Structure 1
Amino acid sequence: MNQTETGTALVKKPLSPDWDPWDPWYTRMRKGRHELTGVEFTVTQLCNLRCEHCAVGEMLVKEEGVALPVETLIRRLEEVDTLQTLSITGGEPVLSPRVVEETIRPLLRYARERGIYTQINSNLTLPLSRYEDWVEDVDVLHISYNYRDAADFHRIAFEKYGREVPQKAGEKLFHRMVDNAKALSKAGVFVSAETLLSPFTSPHIVQMHRDVAEMGCRRHEVHPLYPSDFARGMELISLDTFRETIHQLVDHRDEGVWILFGTLPFYPCSDNPADRELWLRLHKEKNITVRNDPDGRNRLNVNTFTGDVIVTDFGDVPPLGNIQTDRLDTIFNRWLDHAEARRHHCFCPEARCTGPNILVADAYYPSTDFQQKKAQLSLETI
């Protein structure tokens, strides 16, 4: 169970490498099927940055329309009996005080009262005071960290901005992000920093990991670069480079920081012994986890402006329904019958694997039928 009752209050089990409620593994193993346990809301399409690796960059706007009432969002959440996690993303969710007051804070209050785990994705570049009033209600404050220094941040964060941004302005935001992460971590906030592995970041991953540790982040998430939206034209690293980068990181990591490898492009069914060796190593190492892909296995994304529901906030699968007319669990069951779900929802319990992320599989294994493969290793003796 993920929570217990103490009087009338719900006490959630602390997040740890042994308990990651966003991972669909637990439900799939216990129930024998995937269930909708997570909902992600895209609450804004505004952002003060235009990062070159942004997987939703083309959705960003300068002026935003009117969102659906938060009561509509909560009413749909109420219908999901299996709900365990609530994620909030954008754009930059904190950029508009109105969005914070009218959408984010009511959602966080609802989740707290129901004992649901919460995550908010922020670039953390706004003044610290913009976070302090509500951040205590968030279980995970998720940030991106793909930079060696302020100069890198300036180049990457304003790559798609459309006009020149002074170097000093970029440096100011970078240092504010770092200072905010340190201050919030010191105050007890669970800050999780994500790095996307690319030709630019992979040679510097050890230093970036040390920076994440110095900021006080409790977790460092390492993901592939998703070839979507702004990042569609960026170069992907080879699987050999990806594998070597992970080994290097693990060899030189700070063991006090939880490393989470998400949407890992290596699988226990691989015919390559090096892939299977890496899979085993990551499951043996202390304070390291491999998260099975939540998107479409236990989570849906909701656009709070249109009401459209999709598998992920940066996928290519068209909307599956709309919360103005459909229940979320109905939409999720509709997705489970979708051809793309059937193609990728394989399951090898002995290796703790629920199959690949759609974007990653299409990028690295376009001709592989994962339904015809089987794990060639077992973690049962670990």
Structure 2
Amino acid sequence: MIQAEQKKSLSPVWDPWDPWYTRSEKGRYELTSVEFTVTQLCNLRCEHCAVGEMLVQEEGTFLPVDRLIRRLDEVESLQTISITGGEPVLNPQVVRDMIRPLLRYARSRGLYTQINSNLTLPLSRYEDWIEDVDVLHISYNYRDAADFHRIAFEKNGRDVSPAAAEALFNRMVDNAKALSRAGVFVSAETLLSPFTAPYVAGMHRDVSEMGCRRHEVHPLYPSDFAKGMELISLDTYRNTILELLDKRDPSVWILFGTLPFYPCSDEAADRECWLRLHREKNVTVRHDPDGRNRLNINTFTGDVFVTDFGEVPSLGNVERDRLDAVFQRWLERPEAKRLHCFCPAARCTGPNILVADAYYSNWDFQQRQAGVILSSS
């Protein structure tokens, strides 16, 4: 096993999930992050879920965790492990036989860890392993319990009472506050949609009041349950994030992920937005990890993907393929070559595949030139 190294604290100047660091320092993309889909169970059926069509009512049989860890041991460049679902904490067997061994391995090797949870389960379900997690990632797309009731059970297929939904919503908020007070790095994500965009400043206040250290803001990904949802226009998106910057709590780190604006835009407003985001304190733009430094493993089939959602087919399988070999295979694919442009002067590594297809289907990113330059500072 590769020996652990001293870990730097997470901050706006160090986000190990961001592929920018490796690409800018080494001149190439490198596999530094592996994400595991450890369950296809979930107690919610959110309308915006990008993996909703893969959710099931009965858990399948996952691969032995030792087999997965052997593959991780082959990746010398590995820095982070992420755990997602479904709701990873819902099945105690998954926690015992998959999550905790992966977290122990990561701790022994000095890797950064993230787990994605809706945080609606009893607090005791988190307390005995949460100290091994660097980032507890939650979704927050609600103004109140009524919003939660509609959004979280939109695709449920059976009635859930408002009182039951309110109890889960309150538990999520209370859990976030309790874990934040205990020193857990809670990062809340909001997806910008026609419903959330008008209220994102209020949601940001809620995130701050829950004690979350970071608020992530992402586009709505048009995948699975969300495929039929309306995407907001780029003008609305830009105005929304500028309003958020004006009204934000400056003590909360805001991370704009898979941002649908680029320094090579023909629109002056987009270029000005890019500049402001890179000048604001405690604000970062995370470059898309999927395929630039991260692969996803389905722990039931062993299939390896460039992302846990979207339509790029499996690139390999852990039963027969090394992960670094799978990653190199992806870099040679036409999709990667089309999107993996790089502009160090503007600090840009190009678009997310879903965002590019949704908003910029007629752009050739490899032929565009940045219209802004960021200072070296």
Mapping for residues 19-168 of structure 1, pairs under 5 Å? 19-168=14-163
Q: 2 CA distance for matches of 1:93 and 1:254?
A: 30
TM-score, normalising length: structure 2:
0.99
**Count of paired positions:** 376
Q: Report Cα offsets for 1:136-194 as digits up to 9, x if no partner.
A: 10000000000000000010000000011111110000000000000000000000000
Which of 357, 366, 369 is the aligned partner of 1:362? 357
* Equivalent residues of 2:296, 2:304 under 8 A apart: yes
The amino acid across from 1:34 in the alignment is: Y
Counterpart check, 1:254 vs 2:240: no
Residue equivalent to 1:234: 229
Q: 1 CA distance for matches of 2:5 and 2:286?
A: 25
Residue equivalent to 2:297: 302
* Pair 285,222 (structure 1): closer, same or farther in 2 beyond 3 Å: same
Q: CA deviation at 1:317?
A: 0.5
Counterpart check, 1:183 vs 2:178: yes
* Equivalent residues of 2:69, 2:102 under 8 A apart: yes
The amino acid across from 2:24 in the alignment is: M
Q: CA deviation at 1:218?
A: 0.1
Which of 195, 201, 225 is the aligned partner of 1:200? 195
Q: CA deviation at 1:376?
A: 1.2
Q: 2 CA distance for matches of 1:29 and 1:10?
A: 21
Q: 2 CA distance for matches of 1:359 and 1:125?
A: 29
Q: CA deviation at 1:311?
A: 0.5
**Divergent runs of 4+, >4 A:** none
Q: 2 CA distance for matches of 1:249 and 1:15?
A: 23
Residue equivalent to 1:5: none
Q: CA deviation at 1:11?
A: 2.9
Mapping for residues 218-233 of structure 1, pairs under 5 Å? 218-233=213-228
Q: CA deviation at 1:377?
A: 1.0
Counterpart check, 1:172 vs 2:167: yes
TM-score, normalising length: structure 1:
0.97
* Pair 362,9 (structure 1): closer, same or farther in 2 beyond 3 Å: closer
Q: CA deviation at 1:9?
A: 6.5
Q: 1 CA distance for matches of 2:18 and 2:321?
A: 25
Q: 2 CA distance for matches of 1:159 and 1:136?
A: 33
The amino acid across from 1:139 in the alignment is: D
Counterpart check, 1:337 vs 2:337: no
Q: 2 CA distance for matches of 1:10 and 1:36?
A: 18
Counterpart check, 1:268 vs 2:258: no
Q: CA deviation at 1:10?
A: 3.9
Q: 2 CA distance for matches of 1:104 and 1:65?
A: 16
Secondary structure of the corresponding residue to residue 11 of structure 1: coil
* Equivalent residues of 2:4, 2:111 under 8 A apart: no
Residue equivalent to 1:4: none
Secondary structure of the corresponding residue to residue 353 of structure 1: coil
Q: CA deviation at 1:375?
A: 1.1
Counterpart check, 1:11 vs 2:6: yes
* Equivalent residues of 2:339, 2:350 under 8 A apart: yes
* Equivalent residues of 1:10, 1:113 under 8 A apart: no
The amino acid across from 2:221 in the alignment is: Y
Q: 2 CA distance for matches of 1:127 and 1:145?
A: 18
Counterpart check, 1:325 vs 2:323: no
The amino acid across from 2:277 in the alignment is: L
The amino acid across from 1:29 in the alignment is: S
The amino acid across from 1:356 in the alignment is: P
Unaligned runs of 5+ in 1: 1-7
The amino acid across from 2:97 in the alignment is: E
Secondary structure of the corresponding residue to residue 141 of structure 2: coil
Q: 1 CA distance for matches of 2:211 and 2:59?
A: 34
Q: 1 CA distance for matches of 2:60 and 2:215?
A: 34
Q: 2 CA distance for matches of 1:107 and 1:380?
A: 40
Q: 1 CA distance for matches of 2:8 and 2:238?
A: 33
Q: Report Cα offsets for 1:185-215 as digits up to 9, x if no partner.
A: 0000000000000000000010000000000
Q: Report Cα offsets for 1:328-380 as digits up to 9, x if no partner.
A: 00000000000100000000001111000000000001111101112111112
